């Protein structure tokens, strides 16, 4: 299932979402045009074997790796999901908190994949863990939103409206099954499924614990009080 659009657009400009998409596009352009692409990726991707818990500098790839991608399909799919689901979550959290949750979800996702194969020398890269955190938060806040979704059946593909809860729970379930199936081949590369799972769970937990406070703030705003982001 592939989302095309959601039924509720935010009432505020999704500044951070737009900036994150532009930064990812810019960095991907650097990947394409630098003279030494492999060296560039090895410098900024998360390579588990290089992580040294006695040297904090080796932690920086947990952040920088979130802005690297392995190809056009990789970056387009990640940024498309962020575009579809990010604006509502950004409006609900506010710009700064949204950015911190995005980055933190990516870090936890990277850590989850790192723990699976801490001695691997295969570079880990991509925004999938961070984007998954936004999906997890969206599931908490907007489970009843309708998502216009493409369901491929070869020549008989259909576009249907599905509740966000159904689509995102299905998405998360596929990550779990794929993640379990990938354990045996974690040392030879592929998709970092556990980064998706860790990021999604992080966003879901943060949103779940903050939901009551945010609802209260929104209620106050609706009563005429200011709501500044």
Say whether 11 is catalytic. Answer: no
Query: Which of 205, 217, 220, 139 lies closest to 172, judged by CA?
Result: 139
Token pair for residue 120?
A: 């691997």
* SS3 labels along 58-108: HHCHHHHHHHCCCCHHHHHHHHHHHHHHHHHHHHHHCHHHHHHHHHHHHHH
Say whether 128 is catalytic. Answer: yes
Annotated active-site residue in 65, 105, 128, 210 = 128
Annotated active-site residue in 69, 105, 120, 196 = 196
Token pair for residue 20?
A: 């994150």
Question: What's the CA angle centered on 197, arms 195 and 201, to 5 degrees?
Answer: 120
How far apart are the C-alpha atoms of 201 and 136, rounded to whole Å? Answer: 6
How far apart are the C-alpha atoms of 102 and 16, rounded to whole Å? Answer: 10
Query: Which of 197, 70, 176, 181 lies closest to 131, judged by CA?
Result: 197
Which CA distances in Å does 213 have to 96, 134, 206, 207? 16, 18, 12, 10
How far apart are the C-alpha atoms of 123 and 43, rounded to whole Å? Answer: 9
So which residues are the catalytic ones?
Answer: 128, 196
């Amino acid at each position: 299932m592939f989302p095309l659009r959601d039924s509720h657009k935010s009432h505020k400009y999704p500044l951070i979402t737009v900036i994150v998409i532009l930064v990812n596009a810019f960095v991907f352009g650097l990947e394409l045009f630098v003279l030494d692409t492999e060296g560039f990726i090895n410098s900024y991707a998360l390579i588990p074997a290089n992580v040294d818990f006695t040297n904090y500098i080796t932690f920086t790839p947990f952040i920088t790796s979130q802005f690297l991608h392995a190809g056009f399909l990789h970056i387009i799919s990640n940024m498309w999901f962020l575009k579809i689901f990010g604006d509502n979550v950004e409006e609900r959290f506010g710009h700064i908190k949204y950015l911190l949750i995005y980055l933190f979800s990516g870090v936890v996702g990277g850590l989850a994949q790192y723990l699976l194969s801490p001695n691997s020398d295969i570079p880990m890269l991509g925004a999938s863990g961070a984007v998954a955190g936004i999906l997890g938060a969206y599931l908490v806040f907007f489970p009843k939103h309708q998502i216009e979704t493409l369901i491929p059946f070869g020549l008989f593909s259909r576009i249907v409206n599905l509740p966000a809860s159904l689509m995102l729970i299905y998405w998360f379930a596929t990550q779990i099954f794929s993640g379990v199936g990938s354990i045996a081949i974690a040392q030879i590369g592929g998709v970092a499924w556990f980064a998706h799972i860790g990021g999604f769970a992080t966003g879901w937990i943060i949103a779940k614990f903050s939901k009551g406070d945010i609802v209260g703030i929104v209620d106050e705003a609706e009563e005429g009080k200011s709501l500044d982001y």
